[in-house]
Amino acid sequence: MSKKILVQQTNGHAEEVGKPTKRTKLERLQELQEQIQSLQNEELERLPKKRGRKPKHETTQEIPKKEQVVNFKEKILNLPYIILLKEKNALVRKRVELEKTKKEQERTIHAKQEEIQDLQHTISESQQALIRTFDSSKILQIVEPTLRKSKNPIRAIKFLQQYRKEKKQYDTLVREIDSIPFVPHVSRTETQLQLENDPSRKYKIDFLTTHRKHLEVGDKYVRLYYLADLPAYLHQTVYFKIMAYGLPFQFSVFVKPAQRNVLLKQIRRRISSLQAKQNERVKKGLIRDPEDEKAIEEAETFAQELTYEVERGMVYALTFALEASSKEELDAMHKDFINMTDGMEMVFNTYTYGQKQAFKNFMPFGEDHVNENKLLVSTAVSFLMPFVAKQLYDPHGIYLGVNVFHNSQVYINPFQVNAKDINNSNINIFGQSGMGKSVTAKLLATRMYMRGTQIIIIDPEREYSELAEALGGEVIKFSRENGINPFYVHGKTKSDMLDHILTLKTFLKFFIPIDKYDSAEMDDYLVTLYEKEEKQDFPTLLKLMKKSPMYRHVKVLNEGSLKGIFTADRKLALDRDVVVFDLYDLKRDEKREPAMYLLTSLIWNLVNTASKKNRMLFIDEAHKLLKDREVAVFFYEMVKQARKRNLGVVSITQDVKDFLGNEWGNAVITNSETKIILKQSYANLPYMDNIYPMTDSEKEAIGNFKRGEALVYREGEHLRVDIDVLPYEADFIQVKKPTEDED
């Protein structure tokens, strides 16, 4: 780059880093002028000074050479570049100094961070020491060291060495304290205490008394059991049934993996033994033993699952302890416990003269002193683990039913959108016909109404009319004699009018063949209709469409078989707390589907403003809104934006595949926080994974649900719930189909 171009690009100065003193163009020009003046003075001093006039014949003053003039010009042109070069060098020196300062500060910050980490570790250890300080045990007062982590490999190695050293000291100290003999007292008076110096005694004689089949621990009576046998088929709720039975008990579980190669050797040995036994029976002319055949088949299946790592072998031990206040109460509990476990085909044996040994399993030492183990596959062990299912309980919510796993009541609040993992108030209800969809929806509507929520229901099958009348609501029936005016705009702004035109365009599309429908032309007709001062209705619209190919298809709404349904003067209003739109008289789908879309759109326009009042819109047979793409997009957008209007949308359908097989139906499910799944047909079970991941056993359970049994998915959890109808609700909740006279 030439020096002249460099001067032009920098405008006579360079940008400075840091915060140096900024120089103006005037200051730079003054400096440049001074430099040029200095160069001129130097050049003038080099020229010979004039000493008076000389004769003509004498030699005159020598004229400067051309090279000297050129050098002088180059010096003047180089001055801006030299100035920039000086500034650049100064900035480079300053940058080096700043980088040096930055590195020093970074080293200081890093040292401070390490110092903070050391202090945090010290604080953590001190907090653990404070928490674990008990007067009753010296072992509990010792804080076990923890391994500190660091991204610096050198520090990580130092921390590991320090941890190993502290761990060794900790283990040594624990062993020393554990070796101190425990000296219980035998008797005590006001003035003296008699001690027992036998270190083998581990319990105070006045605190623990051993009997043949129970213990006296203080003022409590305890009986201990071990799991001796299991049924051939385990259900996932088997453990929850025991926990929810209501008996006061404690349990101790020991699980450890078994070595696969050892298990395979034992299984093959077992198979060989059984096969040899069967061969002996065949040689004697006897038939093969069915029980042994079943055992061989199970052993071979287990071996195959172990070989291909489908299952793992686990050593499992379960110990139960019943606790009562008296011997009689303990005997009564024993009978209840044995009856309950026998009903589940589980065998629990009690210990005779071994209660004290079994009691050690409940001490916080992690040791199994009984060793009554069973070899189980990992799936069976998962069914027998005491995991507690998550509870759904919101004190501001509505009662839904009973959690099957632990018999707790389920309360949900659909409008609790600010809680963790709760994004909207929408609900999906899926289920076969006759499995309780309508009853579930009625329960939700009734209980939310009692919480002050406005209930709006689109009812194609006249299943909610009695409910609305019982709650003092309004039932709006649609028929030729009782229709609606689809042209009425619920709003006064131009934006409201344009939004309503979009709704009408989609509505009229239901009645016009695709090859005859022209969206742009219909838009022009509707805009012209609302610009006129005449009445907005079908006759006025038909006048505008007289020459259109769509005319005779739209004419059906005004003069044909659909006359009266969409040509009435009634305007939609949501004045009551319960409003049911009864579409039962619109028997044909060509009437119901457009009516459902029109009502949904008009309701959305009515609630399409921010409001503090909670509203819940129930749409029965919601799958019919997914048949047309534009209607499906509208349905999805309504569900997606409902939360901003304090609105929840309850989508009710028995055709799950219509939802799961549709792009917008899947989106509706995704944007619904609560999903209630009732019994499904076996044909629909493979599609359940699209709602949320399920195991094969869960799918099978859904296929075997009885009426009122449901799987509820909410807050990232799924629960088995029995939906409960309370006695005072039974009179107006039950489904009543219309009679033929009403038809």
Q: What is the pLDDT of residues 518-545, one digit of tens each?
A: 888 888 888 888 887 667 777 778 778 8
Residue 252: how many other CB atoms lie within 10 Å: 20
Which residues pair with residue 459 across a beta bridge? 582
Q: Looking at residue 10, what is its pLDDT?
A: 44
Closest C-alpha to 245, from 343, 392, 350: 343
Cross-strand partners of 714: 717
**In the chain, which stretches have pLDDT less than 50?**
1-20, 50-54, 56-61, 63, 133-136, 185, 199-205, 735-743
Q: How wide is the angle at C-alpha 224 spanned by C-alphas 219 and 229, nearest 5°?
A: 165
Query: How far apart are the two ends of the chain, measured CA to CA in Å?
Result: 94
Which residues does 358 contact at the CB level (< 8 Å), separation at least 6? 224, 226, 319, 321, 351, 369, 370
Around Cβ 738, how many Cβ atoms within 10 Å? 14
How many distinct helices (H) and strands (E) make up the chain? 22, 20
- The contacts of residue 632 (CB under 8 Å, 6+ apart) are 625, 626, 662, 663, 664, 665
Strand, coil or helix: 700 = helix
pTM of the model: 0.50
Joined tokens for residue 314: 């686990």
How far is residue 162's CA from residue 294's CA, in Å, rounded to a whole number? Answer: 57
Residues 448-478: tens digit of each pLDDT: 998 889 998 988 888 888 888 888 888 888 7
User: What span, in angstroms and rounded, lies between the C-alpha atoms of 675 and 690?
Assistant: 12
Query: Which alpha helices (H) appear in 252-369, and where do they start and end?
Result: 260-283, 290-307, 327-343, 355-359
Tokens of 330: 């303990």
Categorise residue 710: left if φ over 0, alpha if ψ from -120 to 50, beta otherwise. Answer: beta
For residue 410, count other CB atoms closer than 10 A to its CB: 22
Half-sphere exposure of 3 (CA within 13 A, CB side): 12
Which token pair is 322?
């019943």
Predicted local distance difference test score (pLDDT) of residue 574 = 74
Q: What is the C-alpha to C-alpha distance for residues 258 and 311, in angstroms, rounded to an integer? A: 12
Q: What is the pLDDT of residue 301?
A: 84
What is the 8-class DSSP label of residue 367?
A: -
How many Å is the Cα radius of gyration of the chain?
A: 44
